[in-house]
Amino acid sequence: MPIGELLQFDPSGSLMAVNLDRKNPRAKEDITHLPPERLAQSILAKERRIAEILLKIKCLRDQPK
């Protein structure tokens, strides 16, 4: 994206305005909004996975060396 599309300068070269309405072309897509049921299912699945990982870490930590 050309800088001229974002910044506006006066004739003396001083910055006058910045166009913050333009989206970053490299940004990830906006978050999609899920229905509450699917959102809750997704959160629970992630929490279960986190619990599994924490249990594995605990087991590894508790193993004799």
CA-nearest of 59, 12, 53, 16 to 4 is 16
CA-nearest of 33, 7, 32 to 21 is 7
Strand partners, 15: 9
Question: pTM here?
Answer: 0.49
Q: How does pLDDT run along the chain (65 residues), one tens digit per residue?
A: 677 788 999 999 999 999 888 877 787 776 678 899 999 999 999 999 999 999 999 999 999 87
Q: In whole angstroms, what is the distance from residue 10 CA to residue 7 CA?
A: 10
Question: Under DSSP, is residue 58 helix (H, G, I), strand (E, B) or coil?
Answer: helix
Run of H or E residues at 8: strand 7-9
In the chain, where the domains are located: 34-65
